[in-house]
């Protein structure tokens, strides 16, 4: 009877672990800017793909395949000797957004300033990132935004 109980327990545990290992992946990420005062809303699709030392990002509008702009991302620690989760998000723009792009002003800012970020690890190889300068939250794979102490200067 005891063996049966232990066996059942182990089976449940292994079953749980197997399920954990097959956790869901994010197949689409969209971000929207809304204003309750004016009733305006703008929606974009954000495509992220992991690269060595960071990620590539491109932004499209939901009804258009052509990206509004493409950029590389790296995250650098601003206090590498102190254990912490704060850092800077550095964007390396590969092509300039179109003149009428809503990201013109944004890219102008981030080309001169790295974005201050806070990162909170989640349990399953993911983390949530708060971009302090834009007050945006995003859940990403850890591989895409990990803090390193090299690669950019805050």
Partner 1 sequence: MQIVINKWRLDTSLNALIHCETGEIQRLGEFHFILLETFIQHAGEVLPRAWLINEVWKNRVVGNNSLPTAIYALRVALGDDGRVQEIIKTVPKKGYVFNKDFITERADDDAENTGAGEAVLFNPASAPVSDDTPDAVAESPPLPDGSEPVAPIKKASRRTKSLLLIFTLLLAAGISWGLMKGFHRETPVVNNDVTNPDTLLLHEEKNLETNRITLFHLRRNNDEIHASQLTAHIPAHLKKINALLETKQASLTLYYYTTMPRLSLSLLITDRCKQQNQLIMGIQNWQRSADELGSLVYQEVERTLNEMPVCQ
Q: Which residues of the shown chain bind partner 1 in the complex (CB under 8 A)?
A: 5, 9, 12-13, 15-17, 19-20, 22-37, 46, 79, 83-86, 118-124, 126, 128, 130, 134-139
Minimum Å distance from CB 66 to partner 1? 20
Q: Considering beta carbons, is residue 3 or 83 the nearer one to partner 1?
A: 83
Minimum Å distance from CB 105 to partner 1? 15
Q: Considering beta carbons, is residue 124 or 149 the nearer one to partner 1?
A: 124
Q: Considering beta carbons, is residue 16 or 151 the nearer one to partner 1?
A: 16
The DSSP code for 103 is T
User: Do residues 88 and 116 touch, judged by C-beta distance below 8 A?
Assistant: yes
Minimum Å distance from CB 108 to partner 1? 19
Q: Is 115 exposed, middle or buried (0-12, 13-18, 19+ CB in 10 A)?
A: buried
Q: Distance (Å, rounded) from C-alpha 7 to C-alpha 89?
A: 48
Q: Considering beta carbons, is residue 107 or 130 the nearer one to partner 1?
A: 130
Rounded to 5 degrees, φ, ψ at 14 are: -65, -40
User: Do residues 78 and 86 touch, judged by C-beta distance below 8 A?
Assistant: yes
Minimum Å distance from CB 64 to partner 1? 16
- Of 63, 66, 88, give the one whose Cα is nearest residue 77: 88
């Amino acid at each position: 009877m005891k063996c049966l109980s232990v066996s059942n327990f182990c089976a449940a545990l292994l079953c749980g672990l197997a399920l954990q290992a097959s956790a869901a992946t994010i197949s689409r990420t969209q971000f929207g800017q809304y204003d309750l005062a004016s009733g305006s809303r703008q929606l974009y699709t954000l495509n992220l793909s992991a690269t060595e030392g960071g990620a590539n990002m491109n932004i499209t509008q939901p009804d258009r395949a052509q990206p509004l702009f493409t950029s590389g991302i790296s995250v650098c620690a601003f206090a590498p000797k102190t254990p912490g989760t704060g850092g800077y998000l550095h964007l390396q723009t590969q092509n300039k957004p179109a003149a009428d792009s809503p990201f013109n002003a944004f890219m102008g800012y981030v080309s001169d300033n790295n974005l201050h970020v806070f990162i909170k690890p989640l349990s399953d190889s993911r983390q949530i990132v708060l971009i302090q300068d834009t007050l945006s939250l995003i859940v990403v794979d850890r591989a895409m935004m990990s803090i390193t102490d090299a690669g950019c200067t805050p």
